[in-house]
Structure 1
Amino acid sequence: MAGKAGALSDRAIVAVLCGGFFLLDFDLVVINPVLVPVSKDFGVGLGTVAFALTGYLAMVGIMQPVHGSVSDRVGRVRVLRTALVGLGVADLGAALAPNVALLIVGRAIAGGFAAALIPVTVAYVGDHIPMERRQRTMAALMSSSAVGAASATVVAGILTDLLNWRSPLLIPAIAAPLLAVVYARLPETPPVREAAGPSARERFAQVLGDGWFRFFIPFTFIEGAAMMGLFNFFNAALQKHGSSVLMSGLVTSAYGVAAIGGSVVVKAIDARATGAGMFGWGTGLLFTGYLTAALTQSVAGILIASALAGLALAVGQSALQAWILEAAAPEVRGSATALIACSVFTGAAISTAAVGPLAGRGDFGLLFAIAAAATVPVSIVGTVARMRFANSDRAMTMPAGPPPAVDREAPNSLN
């Protein structure tokens, strides 16, 4: 299933990758608006149904290193296309599940395949997009993700009101295999030669032996819990306070609209703003959003919180991704981004499981207060660390463009 070499421009490559990120977040978030309807349909508690979200996030985290490592060996496009087909099949099973247990299993398997889209895509950007355009590319990908998430909330609300909660899950089940066909047009990244390149164990050891990545892994675990996990309960909070599935979806779709605006801001100030400043502003916006949701779960409160979370994704998360790409050595980029994404989504999965009982009791004020509190150390520590990295020898010696092919085939020190 290797991608065909072609003459796609950088713009066309990014457009295809944005389609994958759109589908990824559509698939991740499409379960959120239907948690309450599924709970009523199967006669189980909201905390139990939330494991369909937790299981998805957990498998996204667990499978990141596997996909990243395999993509270093067999090629990025081949892994991405295979994952899209698997994602579609798993979502079909979840949509047809006769009970909540099989729904949870189907969604967990879908998450395992979806896991490929994040680290392999980020590594692909590092392989094919010049460094001076990576921040803007990551912002475009993040905004596509947010639009996918926003679309999922609206579409799931409409289809659930008109048909049932199963129909929204059929959309990624159909779209993912079709997108795999489109991905065939992407130029493949040449895999690392077995004889010359480091083994999977050596690549992961190289990443884990680097001081910056020993910082990134625990740091992004906490960052993922705040940025990628707890906002998923905005929709359920509205429904528990009396809003319909459709109204809740429309309100929380502000997440995607704001992320688009954030992407425009990133493009406008990218050349002038520092990475530390972007990360600090992004996480500051997220804190403000969670604090607003903690104080009130009204339509207005969740609307503001969703918009601020979307801005935070475009500004803060894109800055973090660009930072990680800058720190990773070319020949282990897939493995490095996979480990980081593993940490992010494992943190998100554990945070959603931890606050599940609060969601089940409808105690969303405390839930979002915890989210706001978790964001404070992330913002302070991340901003200071990004400033230190900018002044380090590592940042001073990074190449200005994509690595030459030979760099992917020879071990390169991460000192």
Structure 2
Amino acid sequence: MDKQRAESKHLQLLYAGSFLGNFDRIVITPLLLPAAKGLHVSVGSVTVALTAYLLLFGIMQPVHGLISDVFGRVRVMRFALLGMCVADVLSGFAPNLGLLILGRALAGASAAALLPVMVAYVGDRLPFERRQRTVASLLAAGAVGTAGATVVAGVFTHLWSWRAAILLVAVCAPVLAVAFGRMPEAHSPAPGGMRVGERLATVFRIGWFRFLVVFAVFEGAAMLGFFNFFNAALQVGGHSIVDAGLVTGSYGLAAVAGGLAVRTLGERVSAATHFAVGGVLLCAGYLVCVPAQSMATVLVGSVLSGLAFALVQSIVQTWGTQVAPPQVRGIATSLVASAVYTGAALSTYLVSGLADEKHFGPLFAIAAAVTLPVALVGPVARARFATTLARQQAGAAGPGAGGAPAPLPADRRRG
């Protein structure tokens, strides 16, 4: 009983870390217009701060994954939280655009350690049949952080300054870093073992992993890039930052509801079906906002995007833990997450000009066009992967097609 209680507390700390990490990632989104006015620059220029965060968030994830494989997951997460504190102090007090961009970039580089290392930690400590439910809960906690960031940023900006919500993260991060010190390491850190090149070679010899990394770039663009402009679209339309935050905050609540659905239906509905439903919902959410960006259409778009996030993103993250053996699971999950957020960064950068010109209808049309192939390819690929795992299990072939590790019995159920 004591062991179960301790494990529950450790998972709660991970959920808190996911909440804070997503809060930090999203907090700049509702601040694009207020920060642009405060710094006397264009919205497109401030969007570079968002892009810089997402880009460094993506690039640094494999680095953190490698380090966590060697030195331990908990140690890396604690240093990441301290790095977020320093970066957000710089961002919160930035007197000009250049320092804001630098601060957000450093915050992204630090926060990059949280999600992939958390997923690897879960993969190390929990059996497969509990992983996707736990990862879904991690992502749901992060989605609450997303909702919290949009609401808190709006309220804090209205009451004090656009800088206040960023500085809130700087206060909370070191407190959480201290709390993480109570968590046990997931596994014994490797004393030297495989070199970086050997670890990378190991994961890239896995055929399904190579597919997943490429696919994740497009999935990240669709899932985590374009929705960042929902809030700005409302503010440009004349709505207050508080109202825009309350509307787009529905994204997080919908993601929590979707996470509960994943936990409830996880053993009865295949991952491929989850992916298909999520892809359709995301595409519909963007299409609704093409003709007009009113409170009603953005509310619908936010809710559908949040549901889609819960249904799809836990599958993509868990997929990374399935194709990689434990000794390289950290680098595998981080490379998948890196691809996701690199795609998100590219998408925000490529459409920032449309946001600057206030052309949000064409922006969301592009979002729907990018989402459609993801919604079509993802379910088919996931179903084929499940078939590959089932054949490996049936043939007791061990490392089989594509170099993936032999599946557990639960793998067949989660196809």
Q: What interval of TM-score do these two structures reach, taking the shorter chain for normalisation?
A: over 0.9
When residues 249 and 125 of structure 1 are mapped into structure 2, their CA distance, relative to the original with a 3 A threshold, is same
Does residue 1:199 correspond to 2:199, yes or no?
Answer: no
Give the residue type in structure 1 aligned to 2:335.
L
Q: Is the 8 A contact 1:288 1:372 kept in 2?
A: yes
Q: Match for 1:86 among 75, 83, 88? A: 83
> What corresponds to 2:73 in structure 1?
76
Give the residue type in structure 2 aligned to 1:19.
A
> What corresponds to 2:388 in structure 1?
392
Q: Measure, in 2, the Cα distance between the counterparts of 1:144 and 1:238.
A: 25
Q: Measure, in 2, the Cα distance between the counterparts of 1:327 and 1:268.
A: 24
Q: State the SS of the aligned residue for 1:295.
A: coil
Q: Match for 1:259 among 248, 255, 262? A: 255
Give the residue type in structure 1 aligned to 2:53.
Y
Q: Is the 8 A contact 1:8 1:187 kept in 2?
A: no
C-alpha displacement of 1:323:
2.0
> What corresponds to 1:177 in structure 2?
174
Q: How does 1:85-124 map to 2 (within 5 A)?
A: 85-124=82-121
Q: Match for 1:366 among 320, 340, 362? A: 362
C-alpha displacement of 1:86:
0.7
> What corresponds to 1:225 in structure 2?
221
Give the residue type in structure 2 aligned to 1:210.
I
Q: Measure, in 2, the Cα distance between the counterparts of 1:328 and 1:253.
A: 35
When residues 109 and 395 of structure 1 are mapped into structure 2, their CA distance, relative to the original with a 3 A threshold, is farther
> What corresponds to 1:401 in structure 2?
none
Unaligned 5+ segments in structure 1 are 1-5, 399-412
Q: Is the 8 A contact 1:59 1:111 kept in 2?
A: yes
Give the residue type in structure 2 aligned to 1:246.
V
Q: Is the 8 A contact 2:151 2:245 kept in 1?
A: yes
When residues 56 and 148 of structure 1 are mapped into structure 2, their CA distance, relative to the original with a 3 A threshold, is same
Deviation per residue, 1:302-356 (Å, 9 max, x gap) = 0010011111111111122222212221111001011111111111111100000
Q: Is the 8 A contact 2:317 2:337 kept in 1?
A: no
Q: Measure, in 1, the Cα distance between the counterparts of 2:186 and 2:262.
A: 28
Does residue 1:347 correspond to 2:343, yes or no?
Answer: yes
Does residue 1:356 correspond to 2:352, yes or no?
Answer: yes
Q: State the SS of the aligned residue for 2:60.
A: helix
Does residue 1:66 correspond to 2:63, yes or no?
Answer: yes
Q: Is the 8 A contact 2:124 2:187 kept in 1?
A: no
Deviation per residue, 1:177-224 (Å, 9 max, x gap) = 1000111111112344335x3212111111112111110111000100
Q: Measure, in 2, the Cα distance between the counterparts of 1:395 and 1:60.
A: 36
Give the residue type in structure 1 aligned to 2:373.
P
> What corresponds to 2:281 in structure 1?
285
> What corresponds to 1:148 in structure 2?
145
Q: Match for 2:130 among 109, 126, 133? A: 133
Q: Measure, in 1, the Cα distance between the counterparts of 2:190 and 2:256.
A: 39
C-alpha displacement of 1:12:
2.3
Q: Measure, in 2, the Cα distance between the counterparts of 1:284 and 1:12.
A: 36
Q: Measure, in 1, the Cα distance between the counterparts of 2:180 and 2:5.
A: 12
C-alpha displacement of 1:7:
7.4
> What corresponds to 2:36 in structure 1?
39
Q: Measure, in 2, the Cα distance between the counterparts of 1:227 and 1:396.
A: 31
* TM-score when normalising by structure 2: 0.93
> What corresponds to 1:55 in structure 2?
52
Overall identity of the aligned pairs, in %:
50
Q: Measure, in 2, the Cα distance between the counterparts of 1:308 and 1:347.
A: 20
Q: Measure, in 2, the Cα distance between the counterparts of 1:9 and 1:384.
A: 39
Q: Measure, in 2, the Cα distance between the counterparts of 1:14 and 1:278.
A: 24
Q: Is the 8 A contact 1:64 1:338 kept in 2?
A: yes
Does residue 1:268 correspond to 2:296, yes or no?
Answer: no
Deviation per residue, 1:239-281 (Å, 9 max, x gap) = 0000001000000000011111111111111110101111111
Q: Measure, in 2, the Cα distance between the counterparts of 1:78 and 1:86.
A: 12
Q: Is the 8 A contact 1:389 1:395 kept in 2?
A: no
Q: Measure, in 2, the Cα distance between the counterparts of 1:258 and 1:210.
A: 35
Does residue 1:381 correspond to 2:377, yes or no?
Answer: yes
Q: Is the 8 A contact 2:89 2:170 kept in 1?
A: yes
Q: Measure, in 1, the Cα distance between the counterparts of 2:200 and 2:148.
A: 36
Q: Measure, in 1, the Cα distance between the counterparts of 2:159 and 2:198.
A: 53
C-alpha displacement of 1:31:
0.6
> What corresponds to 2:303 in structure 1?
307
Instruction: Calculate the aligned-residue CA RMSD, in Å.
Output: 1.6
Give the residue type in structure 1 aligned to 2:365.
A
> What corresponds to 1:320 in structure 2?
316
Q: Measure, in 1, the Cα distance between the counterparts of 2:6 and 2:271.
A: 27
C-alpha displacement of 1:394:
6.9
Give the residue type in structure 2 aligned to 1:63.
M
Q: Measure, in 1, the Cα distance between the counterparts of 2:188 and 2:61.
A: 18
Q: Measure, in 2, the Cα distance between the counterparts of 1:376 and 1:389.
A: 20
Q: How many residue pairs are counted as aligned between the two chains? A: 396
Unaligned 5+ segments in structure 2 are 395-402, 406-415
Does residue 1:160 correspond to 2:157, yes or no?
Answer: yes
When residues 282 and 367 of structure 1 are mapped into structure 2, their CA distance, relative to the original with a 3 A threshold, is same
Deviation per residue, 1:58-81 (Å, 9 max, x gap) = 000110111000000000000000
- Pick which of 243-252 and 206-215 moved more: 206-215
> What corresponds to 2:330 in structure 1?
334
Q: Measure, in 1, the Cα distance between the counterparts of 2:391 and 2:339.
A: 23
Q: State the SS of the aligned residue for 1:50.
A: helix
Q: Is the 8 A contact 2:89 2:167 kept in 1?
A: yes
Give the residue type in structure 1 aligned to 2:201.
A
Give the residue type in structure 1 aligned to 2:300.
I
